[in-house]
Structure formats: C-alpha cells, structure tokens
Amino acid sequence: MSKPGPQNYGIPPPAYSETENLQEPLPTEPPVVFGPDPMNLICIACGNRTITDVRTTPNNRTHMIAMLLCIIGGLLCAWIPYCYKPCMTSRHYCSICNAYLGQYSD
C-alpha cells in the first residue's frame, strides 16, 4: 500500500466582486482666500486669468478707530485709519471686466 502524496490543490483566489461605487470627486476649486495684496486668479465673471485690482475701502472698524482717535486725539487724528491700509477692507476686482471678486479684512 502506498499512501497517496499530499496533493496541493491550487486554491483559486476568491473572486472579488468589487463594486466600484466610489463616486468621482467633483473637481472643485479650493476656496479662494483673499489677502491684502493683488492676487493672480481666474475671474469668476469673465473666466480670464487676472491679477486683481485691490481697492481699499473703510469699514465699520475704520470708522470706530477714527471715532476713538477723534475722542482721544481730536479731529486731526481721525483721518489716520483712513490712510492706514490694515484698518481698511481690501476689495478685489477683476482688472479685465472690473467684477467684484472678494474682499479681505484683517
């Protein structure tokens, strides 16, 4: 009697039934964070790449500081925050179509 040798059955890998229901992520632009300086970005209005035109406008805080300075230092000091960029809101406009794109205020 001869024992039958151990038989190595080639075990086939289990059939994966990978259902790919992974949805393709939509190509979304990262949110634009505006700074106090002109930025190079694609205009949402005209679609052109542009360097934004930054215009500073006084905001509520500018008026508040102006009022405080007026109280403390008199009327002559009230104009200071209006000339001091960090006290103002920087508004970004498209340099091509002049559309408002966003703003930055510290």
- Tokens (6 digits) for 29: 């632009």
As a whole number of angstroms, the distance between CA 89 and CA 94 comes to 16
- Return the range that interacts with Zn ion (CB under 5 A); candidates 16-24, 27-35, 41-49, 85-93: 41-49
Amino acid at 84: Y
Stretch that binds Zn ion, among 14-22, 27-35, 46-54, 61-69 (CB under 5 A): 46-54
Which residue, 104, 97, 94, is CA-closest to 57? 104
**Nearest approach, Cβ of 48 to Zn ion (angstroms)?**
6
Distance CA 46, CA 2 (A): 87
User: Binding residue for Zn ion (CB under 5 A) from 34, 41, 96, 105?
Assistant: 96
65 forms part of the interface with Zn ion (CB under 5 A): no
User: Smallest gap, in angstroms, from Cβ of residue 37 to Zn ion?
Assistant: 18
